[in-house]
Amino acid sequence: MGMTGPGQTIGVSVFIDHFIDDLDLSKNAVSAGYAVGTLTGSLMLPSVGRWIDRFGVRRAMTTIAIGFVLALTAMAGVQGLVSLTIGFVFIRMLGQGSLSLVSMVSISLWFDRRRGLALGVAMTISSAMMALFPVTLTYVIAEAGWRSAWLIAAGAIATIVVPLAWFGMIDSPVSVDQFADGIAPEQHTEARDPSVEVSLDRSAALRTRAFWILASAVAMSSMLGTGLIFHQIALLGESGFTETEAAIMFLPQVIGTFVGSPAMGLAIDRIGSRLAPATTLVMLSFTLLLAGSVSSTSAVIGYAVVFGLTAGATRTLGAALIPAWFGVRHIGSIQGALTFIGVMGSAAGPIAFSLTESATGSLRDTAMIWALAPIAAAVFAITTHRPERS
Protein backbone atom coordinates (compact mmCIF):
# COMPACT_ATOMS: atom_id res chain seq x y z
CA MET A 1 0.00 0.00 0.00
CA GLY A 2 2.83 2.36 0.79
CA MET A 3 4.52 1.65 -2.54
CA THR A 4 1.47 2.87 -4.48
CA GLY A 5 2.95 6.37 -3.91
CA PRO A 6 4.13 6.94 -7.52
CA GLY A 7 0.55 6.37 -8.71
CA GLN A 8 -1.06 8.55 -6.05
CA THR A 9 -1.75 12.27 -6.42
CA ILE A 10 0.86 12.97 -3.74
CA GLY A 11 3.53 11.37 -5.96
CA VAL A 12 2.36 12.64 -9.35
CA SER A 13 2.14 16.23 -8.08
CA VAL A 14 5.93 16.73 -8.16
CA PHE A 15 5.98 16.03 -11.92
CA ILE A 16 3.24 18.48 -12.97
CA ASP A 17 5.47 21.50 -13.62
CA HIS A 18 7.91 19.34 -15.60
CA PHE A 19 5.09 18.06 -17.81
CA ILE A 20 4.01 21.66 -18.41
CA ASP A 21 7.51 22.91 -19.26
CA ASP A 22 9.01 20.01 -21.20
CA LEU A 23 5.90 18.84 -23.05
CA ASP A 24 4.72 22.39 -23.75
CA LEU A 25 1.32 21.83 -22.13
CA SER A 26 -0.91 24.14 -20.12
CA LYS A 27 -1.76 23.43 -16.51
CA ASN A 28 -5.41 23.01 -17.49
CA ALA A 29 -4.46 20.45 -20.13
CA VAL A 30 -2.41 18.39 -17.67
CA SER A 31 -5.21 18.63 -15.08
CA ALA A 32 -7.78 17.51 -17.65
CA GLY A 33 -5.59 14.58 -18.69
CA TYR A 34 -5.19 13.57 -15.05
CA ALA A 35 -8.95 13.72 -14.45
CA VAL A 36 -9.67 11.66 -17.57
CA GLY A 37 -6.98 9.16 -16.63
CA THR A 38 -8.28 8.80 -13.07
CA LEU A 39 -11.89 8.31 -14.12
CA THR A 40 -11.05 5.92 -16.96
CA GLY A 41 -8.77 3.87 -14.74
CA SER A 42 -11.41 3.63 -12.02
CA LEU A 43 -13.85 1.98 -14.43
CA MET A 44 -11.77 -1.19 -14.28
CA LEU A 45 -11.71 -1.52 -10.48
CA PRO A 46 -14.93 -3.59 -10.12
CA SER A 47 -13.53 -6.08 -12.65
CA VAL A 48 -10.14 -6.10 -10.91
CA GLY A 49 -11.86 -6.89 -7.62
CA ARG A 50 -13.72 -9.82 -9.17
CA TRP A 51 -10.44 -11.05 -10.67
CA ILE A 52 -8.76 -10.93 -7.23
CA ASP A 53 -11.55 -13.12 -5.82
CA ARG A 54 -11.12 -15.61 -8.66
CA PHE A 55 -7.32 -15.98 -8.83
CA GLY A 56 -6.24 -15.12 -5.29
CA VAL A 57 -4.18 -12.40 -3.69
CA ARG A 58 -0.73 -13.78 -4.59
CA ARG A 59 -1.16 -14.01 -8.34
CA ALA A 60 -3.26 -10.86 -8.50
CA MET A 61 -0.79 -8.72 -6.55
CA THR A 62 2.17 -10.01 -8.56
CA THR A 63 0.45 -9.36 -11.90
CA ILE A 64 -0.73 -5.90 -10.81
CA ALA A 65 2.77 -5.01 -9.57
CA ILE A 66 4.37 -6.07 -12.87
CA GLY A 67 1.79 -4.02 -14.76
CA PHE A 68 2.51 -1.05 -12.49
CA VAL A 69 6.24 -1.37 -13.26
CA LEU A 70 5.51 -1.27 -16.99
CA ALA A 71 3.17 1.72 -16.60
CA LEU A 72 5.75 3.70 -14.60
CA THR A 73 8.41 2.84 -17.20
CA ALA A 74 6.12 4.11 -19.95
CA MET A 75 5.66 7.42 -18.09
CA ALA A 76 9.36 8.10 -18.69
CA GLY A 77 8.69 8.19 -22.43
CA VAL A 78 5.55 10.35 -22.71
CA GLN A 79 5.75 12.91 -25.50
CA GLY A 80 2.47 14.80 -25.45
CA LEU A 81 -0.99 15.07 -23.97
CA VAL A 82 -2.35 11.86 -25.49
CA SER A 83 0.48 9.62 -24.28
CA LEU A 84 0.49 11.42 -20.91
CA THR A 85 -3.24 10.79 -20.46
CA ILE A 86 -2.83 7.12 -21.37
CA GLY A 87 -0.02 6.90 -18.83
CA PHE A 88 -2.26 8.45 -16.19
CA VAL A 89 -4.93 5.82 -16.93
CA PHE A 90 -2.58 2.95 -16.15
CA ILE A 91 -0.67 4.34 -13.16
CA ARG A 92 -3.96 5.36 -11.53
CA MET A 93 -5.70 2.07 -12.35
CA LEU A 94 -2.77 -0.16 -11.33
CA GLY A 95 -1.17 1.84 -8.52
CA GLN A 96 -3.71 4.07 -6.81
CA GLY A 97 -6.56 1.64 -7.53
CA SER A 98 -5.64 -2.01 -8.00
CA LEU A 99 -2.54 -2.35 -5.81
CA SER A 100 -4.31 -0.57 -2.94
CA LEU A 101 -7.37 -2.76 -3.45
CA VAL A 102 -5.54 -6.10 -3.38
CA SER A 103 -3.56 -4.97 -0.32
CA MET A 104 -6.73 -4.20 1.64
CA VAL A 105 -8.30 -7.49 0.58
CA SER A 106 -5.24 -9.46 1.71
CA ILE A 107 -5.38 -7.97 5.22
CA SER A 108 -9.13 -8.55 5.52
CA LEU A 109 -8.74 -12.25 4.74
CA TRP A 110 -6.27 -12.85 7.59
CA PHE A 111 -8.09 -11.00 10.37
CA ASP A 112 -11.62 -11.21 11.73
CA ARG A 113 -12.07 -10.08 15.33
CA ARG A 114 -9.41 -7.35 15.12
CA ARG A 115 -9.71 -6.65 11.40
CA GLY A 116 -10.58 -2.99 11.90
CA LEU A 117 -7.49 -2.29 13.98
CA ALA A 118 -5.25 -4.24 11.57
CA LEU A 119 -6.53 -2.21 8.61
CA GLY A 120 -6.23 1.05 10.55
CA VAL A 121 -2.62 0.37 11.49
CA ALA A 122 -1.76 -0.69 7.94
CA MET A 123 -3.28 2.46 6.48
CA THR A 124 -1.46 4.63 8.99
CA ILE A 125 1.91 3.08 8.11
CA SER A 126 1.21 3.20 4.37
CA SER A 127 0.22 6.88 4.62
CA ALA A 128 3.53 7.62 6.32
CA MET A 129 5.38 5.77 3.55
CA MET A 130 3.49 7.62 0.82
CA ALA A 131 4.32 10.94 2.46
CA LEU A 132 8.01 10.21 1.75
CA PHE A 133 7.53 9.94 -2.01
CA PRO A 134 7.24 13.67 -2.85
CA VAL A 135 10.50 14.42 -1.04
CA THR A 136 12.30 11.42 -2.54
CA LEU A 137 11.07 12.00 -6.08
CA THR A 138 11.84 15.72 -5.90
CA TYR A 139 15.43 14.89 -4.96
CA VAL A 140 15.74 12.32 -7.77
CA ILE A 141 14.31 14.79 -10.31
CA ALA A 142 16.83 17.44 -9.23
CA GLU A 143 19.72 14.98 -9.56
CA ALA A 144 18.75 12.91 -12.60
CA GLY A 145 15.74 14.49 -14.33
CA TRP A 146 12.03 13.69 -14.26
CA ARG A 147 12.16 10.91 -16.86
CA SER A 148 14.81 9.08 -14.87
CA ALA A 149 12.71 9.54 -11.73
CA TRP A 150 9.90 7.51 -13.33
CA LEU A 151 12.38 4.75 -14.22
CA ILE A 152 13.78 4.69 -10.68
CA ALA A 153 10.23 4.48 -9.28
CA ALA A 154 9.57 1.54 -11.63
CA GLY A 155 12.77 -0.11 -10.43
CA ALA A 156 11.69 0.30 -6.79
CA ILE A 157 8.37 -1.45 -7.46
CA ALA A 158 10.13 -4.21 -9.41
CA THR A 159 12.68 -4.92 -6.68
CA ILE A 160 10.40 -4.53 -3.64
CA VAL A 161 6.74 -5.21 -4.48
CA VAL A 162 7.03 -7.95 -7.11
CA PRO A 163 9.19 -10.29 -4.95
CA LEU A 164 7.10 -9.55 -1.84
CA ALA A 165 3.93 -10.37 -3.76
CA TRP A 166 5.16 -13.64 -5.26
CA PHE A 167 7.29 -15.01 -2.42
CA GLY A 168 5.65 -13.38 0.60
CA MET A 169 1.90 -13.35 0.01
CA ILE A 170 -0.43 -16.26 0.81
CA ASP A 171 -3.94 -16.13 -0.62
CA SER A 172 -5.79 -16.84 2.62
CA PRO A 173 -5.40 -18.84 5.85
CA VAL A 174 -7.44 -21.75 4.52
CA SER A 175 -5.02 -22.20 1.60
CA VAL A 176 -2.34 -23.29 4.09
CA ASP A 177 -4.65 -25.03 6.57
CA GLN A 178 -4.65 -22.10 8.98
CA PHE A 179 -7.40 -19.88 10.36
CA ALA A 180 -8.02 -16.15 10.64
CA ASP A 181 -6.71 -14.39 13.76
CA GLY A 182 -4.08 -17.11 14.24
CA ILE A 183 -6.52 -19.51 15.88
CA ALA A 184 -4.85 -22.85 16.61
CA PRO A 185 -6.39 -25.86 14.82
CA GLU A 186 -7.38 -27.52 18.09
CA GLN A 187 -9.20 -24.35 19.20
CA HIS A 188 -10.96 -23.79 15.91
CA THR A 189 -14.71 -24.02 15.48
CA GLU A 190 -16.76 -23.09 12.42
CA ALA A 191 -18.45 -20.40 14.47
CA ARG A 192 -15.10 -18.58 14.70
CA ASP A 193 -14.00 -19.04 11.09
CA PRO A 194 -15.09 -16.26 8.69
CA SER A 195 -14.13 -18.40 5.70
CA VAL A 196 -17.15 -20.68 6.26
CA GLU A 197 -19.64 -17.86 6.81
CA VAL A 198 -22.29 -17.16 4.22
CA SER A 199 -21.08 -14.31 2.01
CA LEU A 200 -23.04 -12.05 -0.31
CA ASP A 201 -21.81 -11.67 -3.86
CA ARG A 202 -21.52 -8.22 -5.44
CA SER A 203 -24.95 -8.15 -7.05
CA ALA A 204 -26.61 -9.15 -3.77
CA ALA A 205 -24.55 -6.61 -1.81
CA LEU A 206 -25.52 -3.82 -4.20
CA ARG A 207 -29.18 -4.57 -3.53
CA THR A 208 -28.83 -3.91 0.20
CA ARG A 209 -29.51 -0.62 1.94
CA ALA A 210 -26.34 -1.09 4.01
CA PHE A 211 -24.05 -1.00 0.95
CA TRP A 212 -25.44 2.30 -0.27
CA ILE A 213 -25.18 3.83 3.19
CA LEU A 214 -21.53 2.81 3.26
CA ALA A 215 -21.09 4.04 -0.31
CA SER A 216 -22.63 7.41 0.54
CA ALA A 217 -20.21 7.86 3.46
CA VAL A 218 -17.20 6.97 1.31
CA ALA A 219 -18.35 8.99 -1.72
CA MET A 220 -19.17 12.10 0.31
CA SER A 221 -15.88 11.95 2.15
CA SER A 222 -13.99 11.54 -1.13
CA MET A 223 -15.95 14.28 -2.87
CA LEU A 224 -16.03 16.92 -0.15
CA GLY A 225 -12.60 16.06 1.25
CA THR A 226 -11.00 16.35 -2.19
CA GLY A 227 -12.87 19.61 -2.74
CA LEU A 228 -11.46 21.01 0.50
CA ILE A 229 -7.90 19.90 -0.31
CA PHE A 230 -8.07 21.18 -3.89
CA HIS A 231 -9.30 24.63 -2.80
CA GLN A 232 -7.62 24.81 0.62
CA ILE A 233 -5.14 27.56 -0.29
CA ALA A 234 -7.88 29.83 -1.63
CA LEU A 235 -10.33 28.88 1.12
CA LEU A 236 -7.96 29.79 3.94
CA GLY A 237 -6.91 32.83 1.97
CA GLU A 238 -10.43 34.17 2.44
CA SER A 239 -9.82 33.84 6.18
CA GLY A 240 -6.72 36.02 5.96
CA PHE A 241 -3.99 33.38 5.77
CA THR A 242 -1.09 33.56 3.35
CA GLU A 243 -0.41 30.86 0.78
CA THR A 244 2.49 29.51 2.86
CA GLU A 245 0.43 29.45 6.05
CA ALA A 246 -2.38 27.64 4.28
CA ALA A 247 0.03 25.06 2.83
CA ILE A 248 1.51 24.37 6.28
CA MET A 249 -1.96 23.27 7.43
CA PHE A 250 -1.49 20.03 5.50
CA LEU A 251 0.88 18.87 8.26
CA PRO A 252 -1.73 18.80 11.08
CA GLN A 253 -4.00 16.92 8.68
CA VAL A 254 -1.41 14.15 8.43
CA ILE A 255 -1.25 13.96 12.23
CA GLY A 256 -5.03 13.65 12.40
CA THR A 257 -5.01 10.88 9.78
CA PHE A 258 -2.48 8.88 11.78
CA VAL A 259 -4.88 8.93 14.73
CA GLY A 260 -8.16 8.57 12.83
CA SER A 261 -7.38 5.36 10.91
CA PRO A 262 -6.49 3.06 13.85
CA ALA A 263 -9.03 4.74 16.13
CA MET A 264 -11.89 3.95 13.76
CA GLY A 265 -10.65 0.38 13.34
CA LEU A 266 -10.45 -0.11 17.10
CA ALA A 267 -13.94 1.36 17.57
CA ILE A 268 -15.43 -0.98 14.96
CA ASP A 269 -13.80 -3.99 16.62
CA ARG A 270 -14.88 -3.11 20.16
CA ILE A 271 -18.11 -1.12 19.82
CA GLY A 272 -19.60 -2.38 16.58
CA SER A 273 -20.18 -1.11 13.08
CA ARG A 274 -23.80 0.05 12.99
CA LEU A 275 -23.14 3.70 13.86
CA ALA A 276 -19.76 3.96 12.11
CA PRO A 277 -20.99 5.42 8.77
CA ALA A 278 -23.19 8.00 10.51
CA THR A 279 -20.29 8.96 12.79
CA THR A 280 -17.94 9.67 9.90
CA LEU A 281 -20.64 11.69 8.12
CA VAL A 282 -21.18 13.86 11.20
CA MET A 283 -17.41 14.33 11.48
CA LEU A 284 -17.33 15.37 7.81
CA SER A 285 -20.08 17.93 8.35
CA PHE A 286 -18.23 19.36 11.37
CA THR A 287 -15.06 19.60 9.26
CA LEU A 288 -16.87 21.63 6.60
CA LEU A 289 -18.41 23.92 9.22
CA LEU A 290 -14.97 24.58 10.65
CA ALA A 291 -13.54 25.22 7.18
CA GLY A 292 -16.17 27.88 6.58
CA SER A 293 -15.85 29.64 9.91
CA VAL A 294 -12.26 29.55 11.19
CA SER A 295 -10.36 32.82 11.50
CA SER A 296 -7.59 32.38 14.10
CA THR A 297 -4.43 30.31 13.80
CA SER A 298 -5.43 27.94 16.59
CA ALA A 299 -8.84 27.41 15.00
CA VAL A 300 -7.28 26.59 11.63
CA ILE A 301 -4.94 24.06 13.25
CA GLY A 302 -7.97 22.50 14.94
CA TYR A 303 -9.77 22.36 11.60
CA ALA A 304 -6.78 20.65 9.98
CA VAL A 305 -6.55 18.01 12.72
CA VAL A 306 -10.30 17.29 12.57
CA PHE A 307 -10.04 17.06 8.78
CA GLY A 308 -7.27 14.47 9.14
CA LEU A 309 -9.22 12.51 11.75
CA THR A 310 -12.23 12.38 9.43
CA ALA A 311 -10.19 11.32 6.40
CA GLY A 312 -8.37 8.60 8.35
CA ALA A 313 -11.57 7.25 9.90
CA THR A 314 -13.32 7.06 6.53
CA ARG A 315 -10.41 5.22 4.90
CA THR A 316 -10.67 2.47 7.50
CA LEU A 317 -14.47 2.50 7.42
CA GLY A 318 -14.91 1.06 3.95
CA ALA A 319 -12.12 -1.49 4.22
CA ALA A 320 -13.37 -2.84 7.56
CA LEU A 321 -17.13 -2.86 6.95
CA ILE A 322 -17.15 -4.68 3.61
CA PRO A 323 -15.96 -8.00 5.11
CA ALA A 324 -17.86 -7.44 8.36
CA TRP A 325 -21.18 -6.85 6.61
CA PHE A 326 -20.94 -8.93 3.44
CA GLY A 327 -18.41 -11.68 4.20
CA VAL A 328 -15.02 -12.38 2.63
CA ARG A 329 -15.75 -14.76 -0.23
CA HIS A 330 -16.52 -11.95 -2.70
CA ILE A 331 -14.68 -9.18 -0.88
CA GLY A 332 -12.58 -8.15 -3.89
CA SER A 333 -15.48 -7.48 -6.22
CA ILE A 334 -17.51 -5.64 -3.56
CA GLN A 335 -14.51 -3.60 -2.39
CA GLY A 336 -13.74 -2.82 -6.04
CA ALA A 337 -17.24 -1.41 -6.53
CA LEU A 338 -16.90 0.73 -3.40
CA THR A 339 -13.47 1.98 -4.47
CA PHE A 340 -14.87 2.93 -7.88
CA ILE A 341 -17.62 4.97 -6.20
CA GLY A 342 -15.05 6.71 -4.00
CA VAL A 343 -12.86 7.63 -6.98
CA MET A 344 -15.87 9.02 -8.83
CA GLY A 345 -16.68 11.13 -5.80
CA SER A 346 -13.13 12.49 -5.60
CA ALA A 347 -13.28 13.53 -9.25
CA ALA A 348 -16.53 15.44 -8.65
CA GLY A 349 -15.39 17.32 -5.54
CA PRO A 350 -13.30 20.15 -7.00
CA ILE A 351 -15.91 20.81 -9.69
CA ALA A 352 -18.77 20.88 -7.15
CA PHE A 353 -16.90 23.41 -5.00
CA SER A 354 -16.05 25.57 -8.02
CA LEU A 355 -19.65 25.70 -9.22
CA THR A 356 -20.96 26.50 -5.74
CA GLU A 357 -18.34 29.22 -5.33
CA SER A 358 -19.45 30.75 -8.63
CA ALA A 359 -23.01 30.90 -7.30
CA THR A 360 -22.17 32.21 -3.82
CA GLY A 361 -18.99 34.18 -4.48
CA SER A 362 -17.21 32.64 -1.48
CA LEU A 363 -15.47 29.37 -0.69
CA ARG A 364 -16.27 29.84 3.00
CA ASP A 365 -19.98 29.94 2.17
CA THR A 366 -19.47 26.96 -0.15
CA ALA A 367 -18.08 24.86 2.70
CA MET A 368 -20.95 25.86 4.99
CA ILE A 369 -23.56 24.94 2.35
CA TRP A 370 -22.03 21.55 1.63
CA ALA A 371 -21.95 20.78 5.38
CA LEU A 372 -25.69 20.06 5.11
CA ALA A 373 -25.24 17.09 2.75
CA PRO A 374 -23.43 14.74 5.20
CA ILE A 375 -25.99 15.50 7.93
CA ALA A 376 -28.84 14.46 5.63
CA ALA A 377 -26.99 11.24 4.79
CA ALA A 378 -26.21 10.60 8.49
CA VAL A 379 -29.92 10.70 9.35
CA PHE A 380 -30.50 8.02 6.73
CA ALA A 381 -27.43 6.03 7.84
CA ILE A 382 -28.34 5.83 11.50
CA THR A 383 -31.30 3.56 10.72
CA THR A 384 -29.16 0.98 8.87
CA HIS A 385 -28.62 -2.49 10.27
CA ARG A 386 -26.06 -5.10 9.32
CA PRO A 387 -27.48 -6.99 6.30
CA GLU A 388 -28.69 -10.55 6.71
CA ARG A 389 -26.66 -13.20 4.88
CA SER A 390 -29.31 -15.87 4.35
Q: How far apart are CA 195 and CA 190, in angstroms?
A: 9
- Mean pLDDT across the stretch 150-177? 92
299-347, pLDDT tens digit by residue? 888 888 898 889 888 888 888 888 888 888 888 888 888 888 888 887 7
Query: Closest Cα to residue 308, out of 239, 251, 354?
Result: 251
Q: How far apart are CA 191 and CA 197, in angstroms?
A: 8
Q: Mapping DSSP to helix (H, G, I), strand (E, B) and coil, where does residue 268 land?
A: helix
Per-residue model confidence (pLDDT) at position 295: 82
Percent of the chain with pLDDT over 70: 93
Cβ-contact 37, 88 below 8 angstroms: yes
- Mean pLDDT across the stretch 214-238? 84
Name residues whose C-beta falls within 8 Å of residue 353's C-beta, 6 or more positions apart in sequence: 227, 228, 230, 231, 363, 366, 370
CATH 3.40.50.880 fits 198-381, yes or no: no
Which of residues 180 and 389 earns the better pLDDT score?
Answer: 180
Which of residues 386 and 296 earns the better pLDDT score?
Answer: 296
CA separation (Å) from 283 to 278, 314, 319, 385? 9, 10, 18, 20
Minimum mean pLDDT range among 63-67, 115-119, 369-373 = 115-119
Residue 187 has pLDDT above 70, yes or no: no
Cα angle: 268, vertex 206, 219; to 5 degrees: 60
Domain boundary assignment for the chain: 2-192, 198-381
Q: How far apart are CA 360 and CA 183, in angstroms?
A: 58
Q: How far apart are CA 124 and CA 127, in angstroms?
A: 5
Per-residue model confidence (pLDDT) at position 119: 85
Q: How far apart are CA 191 and CA 188, in angstroms?
A: 8
Top CATH class of 2-192 equals mainly alpha
Cβ-contact 321, 214 below 8 angstroms: yes
- For 178, half-sphere exposure in the C-beta direction (CA atoms, 13 angstrom radius) is 12
Name residues whose C-beta falls within 8 Å of residue 27's C-beta, 6 or more positions apart in sequence: 16, 20
Mean pLDDT of the chain: 85
Same fold flag, 2-192 and 198-381 = yes
13-49, pLDDT tens digit by residue? 788 888 888 898 887 788 788 888 888 888 888 888 8
Please, is 115 exposed, middle or buried when counting C-beta atoms within 10 Å of its C-beta (0-12, 13-18, 19+)? buried
CA separation (Å) from 229 to 180, 346, 363? 38, 11, 12
Q: How far apart are CA 315 and CA 318, in angstroms?
A: 6
The full length of the chain comes to 390
pTM of the model: 0.76
Q: How far apart are CA 120 and CA 127, in angstroms?
A: 11
Residue 285 has pLDDT above 60, yes or no: yes
